[in-house]
């Protein structure tokens, strides 16, 4: 299956992009705000939810297929500023699990994009407007682990 390339230009688009990024894993070192360019870029190991044949809540059925992760780049343009909480605190080797990407309008078309991570970590981007792109790279690998939202993240 070919990799994804999704553009988000409004709040509805961003919700779709968020669904594809749910449970992506990122290292704090792979999150970069480039103030001069007005960009924020995150390199992610995205769980490919679109390849899951039958997501099951029953644990014995979860082992019936191999799952997939893909290396992906999440790129936001027209970023005025970036703030973080709980990101890079302590060990910078501790991976972050992305739960959602949200938008709160303020002075439309501008507002705040929030990247919400497990463990009460978040990044807030003050943006002129929604301008985001999710691009899968060529790196793809299989995993036998299906993300479990009922299990606390260590």
Q: How do residues 99-122 score in pLDDT, each as one tens digit?
A: 999 999 999 999 999 999 999 999
DSSP-assigned letter for residue 120? T
User: Which stretches of the chain drop beneath a pLDDT of 70?
Assistant: 1, 54-64, 89-92, 149-154
Of 75, 81, 84, residue with least CA distance to 131: 75
Q: Are residues 114 and 148 in contact, defined by beta-carbon separation less than 8 angstroms?
A: no
Q: What is the pLDDT of residue 93?
A: 72
- What residues contact 53, with CB distance under 8 A and at least 6 apart? 65
What is the rounded distance in angstroms from the CA atom of residue 108 to the CA atom of residue 80?
Answer: 14
Rounded to 10 degrees, what is the CA torsion of 21, 25, 29, 35? 10
Please give the DSSP secondary-structure letter assigned to residue 116: E
For residue 40, the model assigns a pLDDT of 98
- Give residue 154's pLDDT: 45
Instruction: Yes or no: say if 83 and 131 are a contact pair by the CB < 8 Å rule.
Output: no
Chain centre to alpha carbon of residue 8: 13
**Mode of pairing for the β-strands spanning 67-76 and 24-26:** unpaired
pLDDT above 90 covers what percent of the chain?
Answer: 73
Per-residue pLDDT at 82: 98
Instruction: Give the separation between CA 98 and CA 89, rounded to whole angstroms.
Output: 16
């Amino acid at each position: 299956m070919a990799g994804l390339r999704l553009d988000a230009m409004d709040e509805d688009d961003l919700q779709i992009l968020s669904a594809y990024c749910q449970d992506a894993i990122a290292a704090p070192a792979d999150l970069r705000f480039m103030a001069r360019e007005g960009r924020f870029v995150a390199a992610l190991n995205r769980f490919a939810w679109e390849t899951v044949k039958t997501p099951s809540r029953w644990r014995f059925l979860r082992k019936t297929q191999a799952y997939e992760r893909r290396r992906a780049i999440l790129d936001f343009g027209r970023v005025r500023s970036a703030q973080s909480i709980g990101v890079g605190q302590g060990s910078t080797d501790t991976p972050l699990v992305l739960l959602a990407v949200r938008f709160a309008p303020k002075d439309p078309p501008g507002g705040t994009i929030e990247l919400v991570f497990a463990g009460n970590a978040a990044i807030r981007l003050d943006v002129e407007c929604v301008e985001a792109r999710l691009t899968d790279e060529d790196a793809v690998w299989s995993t036998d682990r299906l993300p479990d939202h009922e299990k606390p993240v260590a």
